[in-house]
């Protein structure tokens, strides 16, 4: 009698264990079935899905390559991550009657649309592209909310890409040669913002903030580089500036 009950108990236990095992297998199989079903549904839209994925990947690659502060540095024959809309050259040429040459951007003034990418080509060595930004100790001559953008010091045949996303006047410089007049003005969309003010009248966050001085101040004050004129002309060459604006000044404008 006891043996019979024991066999029944063991038999019931085995049936219970088997039911639990089957239930577990069924539960585990359901996500797999759902996954297969989803894969089949996706297969019906392969073309559109692939196109969307390719577009998204391209945008992500471009966004990750183009830093909002440091842009993108290219060397030699590297293919840029985005096709530039404009090109600016960083140049040096001899100056008459002095061993110190002219350092300049060509064009010196440029009008672009919001979102345009500019390629800065180094035809001569040891230059960079730097914003007149309070974070660098300058008076503000770029639009509000713009990061303190800057390229590294670059060598010949290297280039720097930067996408101008914020509307307004962007005054830029080559930091090593700023005092010799290597400055420029890029007008993005409308001629507005702190950079549209005359030199010396842009916001100065601290007493130590420095405006464009020496030959840099003369260049940015040239009538050819007035923001409205840049917009009307599209671009302004270094040769369009008055020779007096390129005079080598090694003292502040008001003290010379």
Helix (H/G/I), strand (E/B), else coil: 84? coil
Q: What is the mean pLDDT of residues 84-105?
A: 95
Are the C-beta atoms of residues 131 and 142 closer than 8 Å to each other?
yes
Closest CA to 159 of 124, 119, 127: 119
Higher pLDDT, 113 or 16: 113
User: Could you tell me the fold of the domain covering 72-255?
Assistant: Immunoglobulin-like (2.60.40)
* Structural domain boundaries in the chain: 2-64, 72-255
Q: 195 vs 26, 138, 190, CA distance in Å?
A: 69, 12, 11
Q: Taking the CB of residue 215, how many other CB atoms lie within 10 A of it?
A: 25
Q: Summarize pLDDT for 163-181 with one digit per residue, the tens.
A: 999 999 999 999 999 999 9
| pLDDT score of 36 more than 80 | no
Give kind and range of the element (H or E) at residue 83.
none
Asked whether the whole model's pTM tops 0.85, one would answer: no
Tokens of 143: 């639009």
Question: Tokens 């060459």 sit at which residue?
Answer: 237
pLDDT tens digits for 179-227?
Answer: 999 999 999 999 999 999 999 887 777 888 999 999 999 999 999 999 9
Confidence at residue 63, expressed as pLDDT on a 0 to 100 scale: 52
End-to-end CA distance of the chain: 122
* pLDDT score at 200: 85
């Amino acid at each position: 009698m006891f043996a019979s009950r024991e066999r029944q108990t063991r038999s019931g236990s085995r049936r219970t264990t088997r039911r639990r095992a089957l239930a577990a297998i069924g539960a585990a199989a359901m996500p797999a079935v759902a996954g297969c079903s989803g894969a089949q549904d996706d297969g019906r839209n392969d073309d559109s899905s692939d196109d969307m994925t390719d577009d998204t990947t391209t945008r992500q690659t471009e966004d990750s390559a183009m830093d909002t502060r440091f842009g993108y540095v290219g060397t030699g024959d590297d293919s840029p991550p985005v096709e530039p809309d404009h090109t600016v050259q960083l140049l040096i040429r001899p100056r008459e009657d002095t061993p110190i040459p002219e350092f300049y951007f060509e064009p010196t003034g440029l009008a672009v649309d919001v979102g345009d990418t500019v390629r800065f080509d180094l035809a001569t060595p040891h230059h960079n592209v730097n914003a007149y930004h309070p974070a660098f100790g300058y008076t503000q001559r770029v639009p509000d909310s713009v990061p303190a953008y800057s390229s590294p010091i670059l060598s010949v045949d290297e280039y720097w890409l930067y996408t101008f996303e914020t509307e307004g006047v962007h005054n830029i410089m080559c930091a090593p040669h700023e005092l010799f007049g290597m400055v420029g003005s890029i007008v993005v969309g409308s001629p507005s913002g702190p950079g549209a003010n005359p030199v010396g009248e842009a916001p100065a966050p601290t007493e130590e903030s420095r405006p464009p001085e020496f030959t840099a101040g003369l260049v940015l004050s040239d009538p050819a580089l007035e923001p409205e004129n840049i917009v009307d002309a599209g671009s302004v060459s270094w040769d369009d500036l008055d020779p007096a604006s390129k005079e080598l000044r090694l003292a502040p404008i008001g003290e010379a």
